[in-house]
Amino acid sequence: MATARRAYTSEYQYGFAPEVRPERVRRTRQRPEVNNKPKQEQEVILTPANLRILIMAVVLIGALFIGMVVVNAQAAKYQYNINQLRNQNNILENDINVLNMKIERETGIGNLEQYATEELGMIYPKGDQCIHVSSLESGEGSLADLIKQKAYE
């Protein structure tokens, strides 16, 4: 019957985990084993050398973390300064743009004409006040003739 039951359970377990049964504990009147090794054979984890290495490692890791905090603080300080300078640059660029617009507005042809007529008293020339450059004779007062005369005199 035991073999039939074993065959039945092994054949019809479709991917389910097999039944886990704890191992049977044998009860005896013996005392449980105690590590009765001599003191020389027992492992001592914290020797003075190991303790010194452990303390140095903790100090080094602490110094590393403190260094990281200091570097991050400096980076934040520099980033704050950079942001302030960028804001000042933006303000100055806006002022420059406003001044450029004022210059363009004031130097327009209409404003120049108004300034020339009102402040300087200038007027447009009339036909008889104009001198045409082409009406001058080139032989009379040419620069080359003047240079020749000065050179040979």
DSSP symbols for 129-146? G---GGGS-TTTS-HHHH
Q: What predicted TM-score, i.e. pTM, was given to this entire model?
A: 0.41
pLDDT (mean) for 13-42: 61
pLDDT digits (tens, 9 = 90+) for 20-31: 666 666 666 666
pLDDT (mean) for 23-47: 65
Q: Which residue has the higher pLDDT, 151 or 5?
A: 151
Share of the chain above pLDDT 70, in %: 63
pLDDT interval class at 4 (50, 70, 90): low
Quote the CA–CA distance of 40 and 37 in Å, as a whole number. 8
Residue 5, φ and ψ in degrees, nearest 5: -65, -40
pLDDT interval class at 85 (50, 70, 90): very high
pLDDT digits (tens, 9 = 90+) for 126-137: 877 776 666 555
Give pLDDT, residue 82: 97
